[in-house]
Each structure stands twice: as C-alpha cells, then as structure tokens.
C-alpha cells in the first residue's frame, strides 16, 4: 500500500490527501500524480530521479 501524500487541487483551491497515485519521471524529477476531487490531475514533486 502506498504512503499517503498531500496534494493541492488547483481547480478546487483545496488541499487533499491520497494514497492512490502513480509515480512519473520527467526530466530527472520524480512526480506523484493523483486524481483531484474536482476531476483534474494533481502533481506533486517527490525529488530527483
């Protein structure tokens, strides 16, 4: 089970936590991508890849 992370919903202007996210690597950075309550994708930086 994945660790719970905090994300920010830009469209809904609220923070939320989720343990259902995918990890994506782009340009040497690792990101967590989760579905926000408003229906958009919320990205969070995890660190360098």
pLDDT tens digit string along 1-49?
689 999 999 999 999 999 999 999 999 999 999 999 999 999 999 999 8
- Tell me, yes or no, whether 39 lies in a domain: no
Structural domain count, the chain:
1
CA distance 34 to 23: 9
Domain ranges, residue 19: 1-31
- Tell me, yes or no, whether 38 lies in a domain: no
- Tell me, yes or no, whether 47 lies in a domain: no
- Tell me, yes or no, whether 43 lies in a domain: no
Q: Which residues of 16-29 are buried (b: 16+ CB within 10 A; e: fewer)?
A: bebeebeeeeeeee
- Tell me, yes or no, whether 5 lies in a domain: yes
| Overall pTM surpassing 0.85 (yes/no) | yes
- Cβ atoms of 34 and 5 within 8 Å: the answer is yes
């Amino acid at each position: 089970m994945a660790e719970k992370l905090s994300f920010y919903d830009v469209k809904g202007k609220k923070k939320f936590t989720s343990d259902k996210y995918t990890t994506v690597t782009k340009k040497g950075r690792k990101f967590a991508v989760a579905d926000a309550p408003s229906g958009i994708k919320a990205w969070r930086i995890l660190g360098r890849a």
